[in-house]
Amino acid sequence: DAGVIQSPRHEVTEMGQEVTLRCKPISGHNSLFWYRQTMMRGLELLIYFNNNVPIDDSGMPEDRFSAKMPNASFSTLKIQPSEPRDSAVYFCASSFLQAQKLFFGSGTQLSVL
């Protein structure tokens, strides 16, 4: 298996633009997580899905952030409009429901100018 696949690896955009981050979880995994990593705040859970259903989005910072999981093999995290303070590395991770081991993608480095 190729592991969790995220795209793009790097994204540079201007303030006010829409940004869409993509994730393909490991086949068969039924839980998917979006995390944000910054130097100041460390690793923050933004939202997670079980069986394609959003379970907890309390970590989503603002209404500018939205996430979808239309099927078991694809999820998106959208920021509209983007702001410089959104600059971070965004990770997608997947696991089996109730499993202890989380598998992370390589992340998307987002820079908002």
- The site for another protein (CB under 8 A) is made up of 4, 31, 33, 42-43, 45, 48, 50, 55-56, 91, 93, 95, 97-107
Dihedral sign computed on CA atoms, order 21, 70, 42, 28: negative
Going by their DSSP bridges, the two strands 5-7 and 19-24 should be labelled as: antiparallel
Q: From CA 75, how far away is CA 80, in angstroms rounded?
A: 16
Q: Which is nearer to another protein, 27 or 80 (CB)?
A: 27
Q: Which is nearer to another protein, 12 or 99 (CB)?
A: 99
Shortest distance in whole angstroms from residue 10 CB to another protein: 11
> Tokens 């390589």 belong to which residue?
106
Shortest distance in whole angstroms from residue 110 CB to another protein: 15
Token digits for 7?
A: 């795209």
Shortest distance in whole angstroms from residue 46 CB to another protein: 13
User: Which among 67, 112, 56 has a CA at the least distance from the CA of 91?
Assistant: 67
Q: Which is nearer to another protein, 63 or 101 (CB)?
A: 101
